Amino acid sequence: MRKIIECVPNISEGRDENIISACAEAVRSVDGVSLLDIDPGKSTNRTVFTFVGEPDSVVEAAYRFAKTAYEMIDMTKHKGEHPRLGAVDVVPFVPVSGVTMEECVECSKKFGKRVGEELGIPVYLYEEASHNPLRKSLKQIRAGEYEGLKDKITKKEWKPDFGPQKFLPKHGATVTGARFFLIAYNVNILGTKEQAHRIALNIREQGRGPKEPGRLKAIKAIGWYVQEYNMAQVSVNIDNYKITPPHVVFEECIKDAKAIKVAVAGSELVGLIPLEAMLMAAEYYIKKENLFIIDEKQKIRLAVERLGLNAVSPFIPEKRIIEYMLDRKSEPLASMSVRNFTELVGSRTSAPGGGSVSALISSLGAALGAMMGWMSYGSRKFEHLDSKMRKLIPPLDEAMRKLIPMIDADTEAFNDYMSAMKMPKETEKERKIRHEKMQEGLKKAIEVPLNVMRTANSCWGSIIEMAKFGNINSSSDLLVGAKCLESGIYGAYRNVEINLPQIEDKKYKASITKEANEILKNSSRFLRRTERIINNRRK
């Protein structure tokens, strides 16, 4: 899964198009980052930007964005209704997919450190990045706003986390940190505003007060009536969808609506949503209804239908799900045609090479295993196999999808090592840094093919069972798939092996060698076992 982080920086400027455009261009100048939204406010004199990408790219984009804003915005001339502390007021980093909150905290600290050291701006940490209970919320840090910062920053307890303990009239200060993704979500009620608000009070964490809390954690909600839609809504902010996802909110609203004899007519997503939240909804309904769906697009369609997300306006996944809005620049090899990839491998270039090819071959092995499953599922003739295929197909499909990004990851790892080799080595300090980076690059160049081996190796259990029970008419496909897995593991092993001698960490080297040898031995054994099973069934 790709590592995707959202950054939602706010600047203290909402009227000057030149400044807003320059900040936007600073974000767009970073490869691998997608600028999703620009929301200027003239009365607040503030603009909110939303961009996403992989961690390092997002930090770089946030830095360039901030540098541009600091150069162009003068806080001594700023007036606006929204509370603010500086030219670049707040820069939150938000986990979207494949990343932890801790990784987002590290991103905020890297950004803050760089802004403090290179640009000389005072920076405060907030939310998950802050361990100071008096300086954890944005409201606490913004107290007194820009105008009060002159006296506030000189106090011991308000020494910035990064940058100088000094008031800079033109810039003010910046707040950065990490928080969870906020989902704005409305459930449609064919009733009154009061009935919708009654449901909101039941489900929101705050409830009706300290003595009567609501049922759902990390939920804020109110009821209102929307004249445009001619119906009421339970308007919800989901502060952490991993604690309470949208489908839980929807089902709880249905339960309460039934209790007061009003109807729920679907729901509405305001803004964007992470793919994970949609897939969580799909998995809930798949389990509830005992369905068998593993295709991602079908899962999204199920979630959209069950949540009634088309009720108010068409829900277009490519425009509402963050991951679907990103380009595929991060997987250039996997996105190539078969012809172009093969010709590139055969050209005068060292990458892509055996590692990327091994990942591709392994993914094809898993795919052919899944194919036999699909040829054994869903037809009247093999109906007795349906329950078994429901168990065997998903692990192979999952492995196939995990292996595809590794085609690019192997080449990227090689490029990282080559970049480290090109680092300066004139001074002792430069040589030390270069050496450390080269060792890091070698470990990455080992970990990628090792993960190919691990993922391919995880397929054997399903492959063996598929050989025993799958549609015998697809047996040749399964045997080709098994040989692909064995070949992919062999190729990945050779890529691990060639980099190990240069590793200086003896404990690491011994551990990797032992694991890789065991997987290699298993692959030959399981291939032969698959062949025996199929040959016996054919007799």
Query: pLDDT of 245-291, one tens digit each?
Result: 999 999 999 999 999 999 999 999 988 899 999 999 999 999 999 99
Mean pLDDT for the stretch of residues 145-173: 95
Say which amino acid occupies 151.
D
Q: If pLDDT is split at 50, 70 and 90, which confidence band does 6 have? A: very high
Work out the pLDDT band at 412, boundaries 50, 70, 90.
confident
**CATH fold of 4-178, please?**
Formiminotransferase-cyclodeaminase; Chain B, domain 1 (3.30.990)
The alpha carbons of the chain give a radius of gyration, in whole angstroms, of 27
pLDDT at position 212 is 95
**Is the fold of 4-178 the same as that of 183-322?**
no
Structure confidence at residue 329 (pLDDT): 52
Query: Of 16, 78, 82, 477, which one is the catalytic site residue?
Result: 82
pLDDT of residue 327: 54
CA–CA dist 129, 161 (Å, integer): 11
Catalytic residue among 161, 397, 408, 410: 410
The confidence band for 32, taking pLDDT boundaries of 50, 70 and 90, is confident
For 327-336, write each residue's pLDDT tens digit: 555 678 888 9
Provide the percentage of residues in the chain whose pLDDT is more than 70: 99
Q: Is the pLDDT of residue 416 over 80?
A: no
Q: In the numeric block, which tokens belong to residue 419?
A: 């970049």
pLDDT at 272: 86
> Does the bond joining 352 to the residue before it have cis omega, within 30 degrees of 0?
yes
Q: How many CB atoms neighbour CB 199 within 10 A?
A: 27
Query: Is 131 assigned a catalytic role?
Result: no
Quick one: pLDDT band at residue 1, thresholds 50, 70, 90?
Answer: low
Nearest partner of 282 among 247, 327, 253, judged by Cα: 247
Q: pTM for the whole thing?
A: 0.76
Measure the CA–CA gap between 439 and 417, rounded to whole angstroms.
Answer: 8
327 included as an active-site residue = no
Integer angstrom CA distances of residue 475 from 206, 290, 316, 341, 379 = 59, 29, 40, 28, 17
Q: What value does the mean pLDDT of the chain take?
A: 93
Q: Report the distance separating Cα 504 and Cα 508, nearest Å.
A: 9
What's the pLDDT score for residue 330? 60
Q: Does the pLDDT value for residue 75 go beyond 80?
A: yes
Predicted local confidence at residue 346, as pLDDT:
95
The stretch 378-407 carries a mean pLDDT of 94
Q: At 439, give phi and psi (nearest 5°).
A: -65, -40
Q: Helices 101-114 and 55-72: crossing angle, nearest 10°?
A: 40
In this predicted structure, the answer to whether residue 429 has a pLDDT above a threshold of 90 is: no
User: Which range has the worst mean pLDDT, 79-88, 125-134, 272-281, 338-347?
Assistant: 79-88
Domain map (residue ranges) of the chain = 4-178, 183-322, 338-538
Q: What is the mean pLDDT of residues 499-528?
A: 93
Question: Distance between CA atoms of 235 and 404, rounded to whole angstroms?
Answer: 40
Query: For 338-538, which CATH class?
Result: mainly alpha
Most confidently modeled of 48-57, 319-328, 452-461?
452-461
Question: What fold characterizes domain 183-322?
Answer: Alpha-Beta Plaits (3.30.70)
pLDDT at 423: 84
The mean pLDDT value for 36-46 works out to 84
- Contact assessment for residue 281 and residue 244, using Cβ atoms and an 8 Å cutoff: no
Do 214 and 206 meet the contact criterion of CB atoms below 8 Å apart?
yes
